Amino acid sequence: MTPSKYRALPVLRLVLLAFAFAFAVSAAHASKVLHRGNASEPYSLDPHRTTGMWESHIIGDMLIGLYTEDANGQPIFGAAESATTSEDGLTWTFKLRAHTWSNGTPVTGEDFVFAFRRILDPKTAAQYANVLYAIKNAQKVNKGELPISKLGVRAVDASTLIIELDHPAPYLPQLLTHHTATPLPRALVDKVGNDWTKPGTMLANGPYVLSEWRPHDHVKLVKNPKFYDAANVKIDEVYFYPIEDDLAALKRYRAGELDTNERWPLTEHKWLKDNIPNEARTSTVLSMTYTSFNMTRKPFDDVRVRRALGMAIDRQAILNDVFFGAYGQEALTLLPPGTANVDLSAKVDWAGMPMEVRQAEARKLLAEAGFSPAKPLKFTYSYISTPDNKRAAVAMQAMWKDIGVEAQLSPTEPKVHYRLLETKSFDAAQDAWVFDYNDARNALFLWESSTIELNSSAYKSAVFDGLLAQADAEKDIGVRGQLLGQATAVLLKDLPAAPQFFQFHRPLVKSYVKNWIDNPRQTNRTRWLDIGNRPGPGEVAKDTTAGAPASEGGFWTWLASWFSWEAWQKWWNS
């Protein structure tokens, strides 16, 4: 362009040219924002006061333990940079990497010692403390039988942490990715107490830090510039929306308000399969659903009643007719396929029986327990109030009616429902477990006598406890697996909980969300994700392969290209 042409350039063109340049620069540096549907409202963001996956999804984006998860959900070093293990497997020594809290204060071994002591302090009353009982003296400390100072966790110096165990735990790296094993900023918690998790106050040592929490609306996290791997974190902001209604979530997803959602509604299985099969994903995970019976209430202290109700449920009919064959598979045991280090041969004793034979046996058991058509068993079945759960509950109610049982249905929101389970304020209830690490111990501990809140049935068995204790002390993995299998068989005989289903994980993931990898842990940390170019209003991504980048189309991409230097040169020369 010659100087003379500059002099002839109209003022309007100069203004527009300046605007175009500014827009192009702005577009190139636009923040990447991820919107995630997250199933339920968090009870808390304090890792010592939560039990739900929806809370773990958020906490895991902010706090990182000695280990964390990679994009595949597998353990990798997090706050630690190395670990050595003693020959007997009882002493683990960790070297912490040099990193800080989000305010620039160094993360030290004392932050870990403080956190482990806090969650196991009986005064904290942490519902999830049991998961850490492999640590030396953890159970005795948690029960108030030993002082907190006797817990087998100590800091040698600011960057060296030692964890001692009561028994070998080959699953320890997976366990230490869990939110119960993250450090806490001791100085902050000492100063403000339970208010430490408030937006503007909470500190993080992970990729994101809490920015906003509007109850029943959203939790907003923003990128933590102090995170040790911040240079490789692509998403600048992430919103977690507590949406319990899967149909409502799907509407918001289709409207472009959500980039991912925790699950898709089963009623829309056919439409999703026909229209966005690569976005409505399905994968096998380490989780299980079951019906818990409150053994502190009569008549559920009678195994005949529990067995009658368990065997009367036609799980295959529910899977096919209620869940459209898309929910998962029938559970005949309490450990899902793929559970490591255990003999999985134990099954419920009605496995393989025709349904009419099971119904006849159930009526017989109820009669032996003192019930009859003139005196029917009546109880309340509690469940989480989602459409899928409601349809399943109605089906179970009808199946129980076929054996002369009258069940009243009681739906509640997740937070309230799990509080009922923890406080044993129910008769029979929907229950579920998602594994924290791939080892049978992580599920079987739910029914140990020492487990309180998470032992929904209040089951106590000296035989079961003894087998778990033997397994803990056993160094041979094969023998240990046999012992855990025997413990499972005891559970299935006593039936404090009747197995229901091994459900699939079924998230919705837009095609422009990159690096989402389905895995048995159902863990997809925002740290590993990226956003491709979103399609514009009324457009769809050309590449609908889930996890792959979308097409280069889209309104904002078109607008940015229209304001590009090349486009303006062409316009000017015309």
516-520, long-range: CB < 8 A, 24+ apart: 516/260, 516/546, 516/547, 517/71, 517/72, 517/73, 517/547, 518/281, 518/283, 519/72, 519/73, 519/74, 519/283, 519/285, 520/73, 520/283, 520/284, 520/285, 520/286, 520/338, 520/435, 520/438
**φ, ψ dihedrals at 214, nearest 5°:** -105, 105
Q: What's the pLDDT score for residue 536? A: 61
Alpha carbon dihedral 64, 67, 68, 69, in 10-degree steps, equals -170
Say whether pLDDT at 137 is over 70.
yes
Say whether pLDDT at 477 is over 70.
yes
Exposed / middle / buried, residue 25 (Cβ in 10 Å: 0-12, 13-18, 19+): exposed
Q: What's the pLDDT score for residue 29? A: 52
Say whether pLDDT at 208 is over 70.
yes
452 three-class SS: coil
User: pLDDT band for position 568 (50/70/90)?
Assistant: very low
Say whether pLDDT at 88 is over 70.
yes
Contact 453, 127 (CB under 8 A): yes
- Rounded CA separation 280/273 (Å): 7
**φ, ψ dihedrals at 315, nearest 5°:** -65, -40
Residue 23 CB contacts under 8 Å (≥ 6 apart), including other chains: 559, 560, 563
Say whether pLDDT at 486 is over 80.
yes
Q: Which residue has the tokens 């400390």?
A: 141
Contact 347, 488 (CB under 8 A): no
Q: What's the pLDDT score for residue 341? A: 86
Tell me the pLDDT tens digit for each residue of 337-387: 999 889 999 999 999 999 999 999 999 999 999 999 999 999 999 999 988
- Give me the DSSP letters along 183-217: ---HHHHHHHGGGGGSTTT---SSSEEEEEEETTT
- Give me the DSSP letters along 1-46: --HHHHHHS-HHHHHHHHHHHHHHHHHHTPPPEEEEE-SS--S-S-
355-360, long-range: CB < 8 A, 24+ apart: 355/314, 358/311, 358/312, 359/312, 359/402, 359/403
Q: Give the H or E element holding residue 96.
A: strand 91-96
- Rounded CA separation 52/61 (Å): 15
Radius of gyration of the chain (CA): 27
Tell me the pLDDT tens digit for each residue of 435-447: 988 999 999 999 9
Q: Which residue has the tokens 């630690």?
A: 80
Mean pLDDT of 157-163: 98
Contact 221, 62 (CB under 8 A): yes
- Rounded CA separation 174/181 (Å): 10
Domains 64-205 and 284-505 share a fold: no
Tell me the pLDDT tens digit for each residue of 39-80: 999 999 999 999 889 999 999 999 999 999 999 999 999 999
Q: Which of 400, 432, 440, 438 is nearest to 414 (CA)?
A: 432
> Domain 284-505: which CATH class?
alpha beta
Residue 513 token pair: 């969300």
User: pLDDT band for position 145 (50/70/90)?
Assistant: very high
Residue 387 token pair: 């459409």
Residue 299: cis peptide before it, omega within 30 degrees of 0: yes
* Size of the chain, expressed as the number of residues it contains: 574
Q: What's the pLDDT score for residue 560? A: 37
Mean pLDDT of the chain: 89
Contact 413, 385 (CB under 8 A): yes
Q: Which of 42, 419, 31 is nearest to 210 (CA)?
A: 42
Q: What's the pLDDT score for residue 425? A: 97
Q: What's the pLDDT score for residue 533? A: 86
Q: What's the pLDDT score for residue 542? A: 43
Q: What's the pLDDT score for residue 105? A: 98
Q: What's the pLDDT score for residue 69? A: 96
- Rounded CA separation 350/492 (Å): 11
Q: Which of 445, 485, 475 is nearest to 175 (CA)?
A: 445
pTM of the model: 0.82
Q: What's the pLDDT score for residue 30? A: 76
Q: What's the pLDDT score for residue 5? A: 36
User: pLDDT band for position 559 (50/70/90)?
Assistant: very low
Mean pLDDT of 203-232: 98
Q: What's the pLDDT score for residue 514? A: 98
> Domain 64-205: which CATH class?
alpha beta
- The fold of 214-282+512-520+529-562 is D-Maltodextrin-Binding Protein; domain 2 (3.40.190)
Q: Compute the Cα dihedral for 313, 315, 316, 318 and give only its sign.
A: positive
Of the ranges 203-217, 254-268, 388-402, 558-572, which one carries the lowest mean pLDDT score?
A: 558-572
Q: What's the pLDDT score for residue 534? A: 81
Boundaries of every domain in the chain: 64-205, 214-282+512-520+529-562, 284-505
Tell me the pLDDT tens digit for each residue of 526-556: 999 999 988 765 555 443 333 333 333 333 3
Say whether pLDDT at 6 is over 60.
no
Mean pLDDT of 392-415: 97
Tell me the pLDDT tens digit for each residue of 109-129: 999 999 999 999 999 999 899
- Rounded CA separation 323/300 (Å): 28
